[in-house]
Structure formats: structure tokens, C-alpha cells
Amino acid sequence: MRTAVPLELAYRLLNHGPTTLISTAHGDRRNVMAAAWVMPLDFDPPKLAAVIAADTYTRELLSASGECVVMAPTSEQLELSYAVGSCCGREIDKFARYAIATEPASIVRAPLVRGCAAWLECRVLPEPALAERYDLFVLEVLAAFAEDRLWSGKEWRFEASGPRTIHHSKGGVFFATGERLAVPRS
């Protein structure tokens, strides 16, 4: 089940560097793509930095709507994550092609993909020079949620044999988030 994460803790959903999915919607069009180059940028109000290439359909819908949802898929969505990062939504409806179940978001029009570990509803903070020069977008997080089976005590708690978030290494090769290592407190 989705549980709300306080905005000041939203950075923790992506602080360990998972590959993300980004959904967008504008008018009657919607789309989803994979994005590995996404990172927290600020605590409160929480912001993200995301590289979204100029030729993507996602970029077109993001620029038109000013909104998106950034999600952290799990190891159970490995093939799906790679698939939506390997084709363009201008040519196909990825939601139909890959039978992607969605739910409405709480604030933005872009959909939530079911089965993810985290969902961050975002709006674009206009930075046209960064977008043009580096394909870099600054996103403000408006609402944040985590899958409660994976998130407790205000942090990720992945079971050894359960689903984990994923990290892209190279074409089609990922790592799953590993062991939790905590520095002993003195």
C-alpha cells in the first residue's frame, strides 16, 4: 500500500540513487520512460534534478504540462523499466503495449505506475538555459509516497529476498539495492 512520505523526507526516497520511471501527461496523451540520471537536489521544499533528453516524448509532454511523476521501480519491474526506456511513446502507447497498471496521482495529471517502491509528484521549475544546454530539469516535489512494505521508520527496509529498487549500469544490466550498512553511533 502507498503511504505518504513527509515532504522534508522525500529526498530519502531517491538518496540511494535508484533508476526511476518518469510519467507525463498532457491533454489526452500520456507516457512513461526510464531515467537513471535523476537525483535529489534540495531538502525542503524538496527538489530533484533530472536529465531528460531533447528528443524524448517525455520531454515534449513535460514541457507542455510542467508536471510529471518520478517513480522508483523495483526488481520485479526490471524488464518493464528497460522496455519503457527502449521505445518512444510517440509511436506506441506504452501503457497498453506493456499492460502497465496505473492510478491517478493526488496533485498532477501524470499517472502513478502501480507496483513501484516510491512515487514523487513533481512540477517543473522553469530553468530554460539548463534544459537547453544540458537537458537538465529542476523539479519540485509536491507530494511523495512509498510502498509501506518497503518503507518503515522513515527509511527504506528491503528484505533480503524481496523486491528492491534497481540501479542501471549499462544497456539492460542493473544492480539491485544492496545491504543496509549503518555507521555505529558513538
Ligand X SMILES: Cc1cc2nc3c(=O)[nH]c(=O)nc-3n(C[C@H](O)[C@H](O)[C@H](O)COP(=O)(O)O)c2cc1C
Site track for ligand X across 4-23, x = CB under 6 A: ---------------x----
Q: Cβ 166 to ligand X, closest distance in Å?
A: 8
137 near ligand X, rule: CB under 6 A: no
73 near ligand X, rule: CB under 6 A: no
Closest among 122, 159, 154 to 13, alpha carbons compared: 154
Query: Which of 46, 89, 111, 163 touches ligand X (CB under 6 A)?
Result: 89
Instruction: Count CB neighbours of 92 within 10 A.
Output: 12
| Helix, coil or strand: residue 12 | helix
How far from 108 is each of 9, 112, 150, 181, CA to CA, in Å?
20, 10, 24, 35
HEC-encoded secondary structure of 17-44: CCCEEEEEEECCEEEEEEECCEEEEECC
138 near ligand X, rule: CB under 6 A: no
* Interacting span for ligand X (CB under 6 A) from 1-9, 85-93, 120-128, 150-158: 85-93
Residue 40 contacts residue 78 (beta carbons within 8 Å): no
Q: Cβ 36 to ligand X, closest distance in Å?
A: 4
Site track for ligand X across 21-60, x = CB under 6 A: ----------x-xxxxx-------------xxx--xxx--
- Residue type at position 152: S
Q: Cβ 73 to ligand X, closest distance in Å?
A: 10
Q: Cβ 93 to ligand X, closest distance in Å?
A: 10
- Which residue has the closest beta carbon to ligand X? 85
Closest among 36, 46, 6 to 170, alpha carbons compared: 36
153 Rama sector, left if φ>0, alpha if ψ -120 to 50, beta otherwise: left
Residues contributing to the site for ligand X (CB under 6 A): 19, 31, 33-37, 51-53, 56-58, 82, 85-89, 168
